[in-house]
Structure 1
């Protein structure tokens, strides 16, 4: 990727993430989704990338956003929420568009219920970051931008 190219990153938030700050704060923390989006906008400015965020509780809306990323965004940062563990359709959409993707989770999914230990997204993502609360998103953004800027043209 040349230094003249302005990178655009799509951040996707899955179901129930609109309730962050209110929903199970002992697991997910007290930071709101708006706070996370602001953190990512600030991190994007520092990194010199455009960050666009989208949240939906609907699988099809997330898939549509993934499809629309093609040709518009160079990377996707996704917290698919519970769809991580259930949605082959989201995995297939990410695989089809071939936009480099980093999967993130607020909690450490491997310390939770066994059904959360499997991710349909991880095998097709360039990486996964979990367990660092809102910082998982920031770390994921940094990792994705680093990957994209080191990728061959």
Structure 2
């Protein structure tokens, strides 16, 4: 009779006292994984009953959790895409305001690109408006 070493304790056991994980196919002594002799007989009888080791079961749970996260992310991406492509009035107005701000900023920078800043120069207090100050500076 052949002897198989357990993947848990590395101890030898006879084949009828061993169950194989249905995922990784590693052998485990039924005593190490708390399986009764009756349950082991059902697993060996090809009745469709299988057993999964703790590592593979945890890996399966992790994979299922990741699948749920991926599905949720795909739904979020699709929702964002539909919002971006939808002709929403508020969205397009906000986009136009952003474009207007950018154009205004570029125009302001173009006007100021040759400005010189002089520190310590006193301002004329008689000038009342911003336009008066601009004209005096020119």
Establish whether TM, by shorter chain, passes 0.5: no
- Of structures 1 and 2, the one scoring higher in RCO (CA 8 A, sep 6+) is 1
TM class, shorter-length: under 0.3
- Whichever of the two has the greater Rg, that structure is 2
Q: Which has the higher helix share?
A: 2
Give the alignment's TM-score, normalised by structure 1.
0.18
Give the alignment's TM-score, normalised by structure 2.
0.19
